[in-house]
Amino acid sequence: MTELVEATLPLCAACGMSEATFDVDLLVQATAAVFVGAGLNRKPAETVARALVDADMRGIPSHGLMLISMYVDRLRAGSVTTAELADVVLDVGPIAVLDARHALGLLTSDQAMGIAVDKAKLHGVGVVSVRHAFHFGGAYRYVQQAAAAGCLGIAASNTRPLMPPTGAENVWWVTTRSPLEYLAAQGRQ
């Protein structure tokens, strides 16, 4: 029998519900079922679901369950693929480049950090870049992966310009701060 883990997550304040408590495993499984319905295999669907639930549990709702509809819409439209792994297009010593083929970045970035950790253990440093991925989620996930392997992890992302600056007509402004995360093996951020 597994231990019940509950999480209190923010809800819709405008609806009169500021938060509710959920069984985390049940929430992950229900979310994974949505992604299986959208075409992902069970294991990657659970990885995506766990990442979204974890973001909400950390108080980062912008990278949590609110993304389900966007992810599913993009999967159904075909602008995001159901690929589970990226292709390695360059692998030279401590450096690699992956092509995600428009897959979910939550999946391909796990792969990238795994490769970076392996390279770091062999060469002293591992630098891996992923191109053509869709939304890699919270950067904390990848630096935790490196720290768990005894490495210093650095994760960063970019995005296309999303909106015009105040008074401008053309989109060229990135609305988010650069998501750069680092974590040492001792767990300090």
Give the domain 87-183 fold. Ribosomal Protein S8; Chain: A, domain 1 (3.30.1370)
Q: Is the dihedral of CA 158, 160, 163, 165 positive or negative?
A: positive
Alpha-carbon gap, residue 63 to 51, rounded angstroms: 9
Alpha-carbon gap, residue 156 to 180, rounded angstroms: 5
Q: What is the pTM of this model?
A: 0.80
Does residue 20 contact residue 9 with C-beta atoms inside 8 Å?
A: yes
Active site residues: 135
Count the Cβ atoms, other than its own, within 10 Å of residue 184. Answer: 14
Alpha-carbon gap, residue 159 to 167, rounded angstroms: 21
Instruction: Please give the order of strands across the beta sheet that includes 95-104.
Output: 87-92, 95-104, 127-134
Place of tokens 């509809």: 69
Domains 6-77 and 87-183 share a fold: no
pLDDT of residue 89: 98
Taking each continuous run of H as one helix and of E as one strand, the counts in the chain are 5, 7
> Tens-digit pLDDT profile for the chain (189 aa)?
445 555 555 555 555 556 677 889 999 999 999 999 999 999 999 999 999 999 988 888 889 999 999 999 999 999 999 999 999 999 999 999 999 999 999 999 999 999 999 999 999 999 999 999 999 998 889 999 999 999 988 888 876 655 556 666 665 555 454 455 555 555 444
pLDDT of residue 158: 73
Q: Which CATH number fits domain 6-77: 1.10.1530.10, 3.90.1150.10, 3.30.160.20, 3.40.190.80?
A: 1.10.1530.10
Give the domain ranges of the chain: 6-77, 87-183
pLDDT of residue 189: 44
Q: Is the dihedral of CA 84, 72, 69, 173 positive or negative?
A: positive
Determine the 3-state secondary structure of 99 from DSSP. strand
CA 69 vs CA 6, 74, 160: distances in Å: 23, 8, 20
As a residue count, the chain comes to: 189
